[in-house]
Structure formats: structure tokens, C-alpha cells
Amino acid sequence: LGNRVELDTPAAKLKAYPIGTRSTGEFYGDIKDDIQCEDGGLRFELILKKKPLINSFTIPIKSKNLRFSKQPFLTQEDIDAGASCPLNVEGSYAIYHATKKNNQYMTGKAFHIYRPIAEDVLGNKAWCSLHIDGYLDPKNLTITIPQQFLDEATYPVTIDPDFGYTTIGSIESALADKSDQYRVGSAWTMPAAGMVANYIRAYIGGSESFACKVFINQKDSGGENIHGQIATKENLDCSLNLHWEEFTLSGEALIQAVDYILNITTN
């Protein structure tokens, strides 16, 4: 069907088709409106024509040299510190190239699998859970729909996991406010041997020019919650407009299978 694929059975229909840029405020009702799928994307629609016997559906997936990183749900502490996140990013997966980074790959991000939402024919909605069975090149993706929603829904019900193409992260964190500053980051496992840290790129911006400092710390190298510093670099007078800021490092050696925390702070 042109650039669409459809598979139909008496109980369900599966559709796959390209999508363009979308607004989370319009699509999901987010209070903070974010633009997603800046470079396009792919939507899979699973349409349940009647109540299914089970509430979980597993789809086989195939990948090569890709890392699947589950995105956490924000805690109240995160929110109090100024972090924000679109509803469909919490519990979603960011997918990264295991080896390809820099230049056109930027942070190495390949695409994003957003948390699915189920909607019945009357417009009632429920968030679904998403589970992928591995970190590097997993085999299965499982979507679980709340059983109560399936029991009470008016059929057909549509479930729509979206695959979006973007290089910018989907979770926004504050590095400083009028009264405090924060140091934020994530832990990553070094996938290959013989790698060095040449630079870190961060997507940042502010209401005035500012200095930013990045770090690489080896997770738990000095014991539980004691993360030894491997590298650091400070850039002064960073632009206030949202942009990719590059911090040049000194080629510090990184060890395969070791967890490193890439983190950033500001004044």
C-alpha cells in the first residue's frame, strides 16, 4: 500500500507507516509542549478488533551493534531539581550505535522507541509499558496494556509504539537556578577495547551566557557510590541559545566493559 504495510487477521490488524514531526502537547496533552521526530519516524499501529485473551504482546526485533537504554520515570526529587520529560519518554528506550559516534552521529543516538499509548474507539486512553529483553542487540520487544483498560474499553483498541529519528535527548534537566546548581549525568558501559575520550558534546542553553564543566567518572571505582574522576573540561562563556557544545578532552584511556558516568554542571 504505497509506503505503508498492513497485516490483517480476524482478531487484529497491524499497520506500519512513516510519520513526521509532531507536538507532544497536541498528541499527548503534555503541559510542556515538545517537538519530536524532527527527522521523521515510523509508527506501528496494533489494532485489536476484540478483547484479547492476554494483555502482553511480544514482537521479535533484529539489530546489529545497537545499545537499547531504558529511560527512567522522573522522581519527585528530579522534578524539584528542575528536570522535565515528555510523558511518552518516561519508560521509553533511547537507541544508540555501539561504536558509531561523532560527526553525523553526534552522541551516537540512532533513534528512539517511545512509550506506547492505547486508545479505544471512544477516545479513552491508557499508557502501556514497554520492555526490551537486553541492552546490546536484544531479540524481543514486549508491550503490556493495563488489564483494566482492556476490560472496560470499547473496541477496536489501537496501540501505537512510535520509532522516532532524532539526535537530541528527550529528557530536559536544569543545571542551575537562582538559588542552586546541579550536576547531572548518566552511566554507560564502554562497549569496546582501545577507546579514548577525545571530547564530550552536550546540548545546552540558558537565559544568559554561562560556564559549563563536564566530567567522566568511573562508576563505583572507589566503592559503592564513590566514582573516581577520569577526565574533566570547563568551557567559559557558553552561548545562551540551545546548541551542541563541544568540550575537548585529553585522550584519556577507557576500559572495555567498565561503567563510566558522563556528567555536567554549570555555575
pLDDT tens digits, one per residue of 9-38: 899 988 887 776 655 555 556 556 565 556
Report the pLDDT averaged over residues 89-112.
Answer: 70
pLDDT tens digits, one per residue of 66-91: 888 888 888 888 878 777 777 888 88
Residue located via cell numbers 570547563: 234
- In this prediction, residue 30 carries a pLDDT of 56
102 pLDDT band, cuts 50/70/90, is very low
Q: Is the dihedral of CA 252, 112, 128, 59 positive or negative?
A: negative
- In this prediction, residue 103 carries a pLDDT of 42
CA 32, CA 174: separation in Å to the nearest integer? 15
Residue located via cell numbers 511480544: 58
Report the pLDDT averaged over residues 216-228.
Answer: 92
Least confidently predicted of 90-94, 123-127, 161-165, 236-240: 161-165
pLDDT tens digits, one per residue of 166-177: 455 555 666 766
Contacts 24+ apart (CB under 8 A), 39-43: 39/164, 39/165, 39/166, 40/164, 40/165, 41/111, 41/162, 41/163, 41/164, 41/165, 42/16, 42/17, 42/18, 42/162, 42/163, 43/15, 43/16, 43/17, 43/18, 43/19, 43/160, 43/161, 43/162, 43/163
- In this prediction, residue 218 carries a pLDDT of 93
pTM: 0.59
pLDDT tens digits, one per residue of 115-163: 888 988 888 889 999 999 987 888 999 999 999 999 999 999 999 865 5
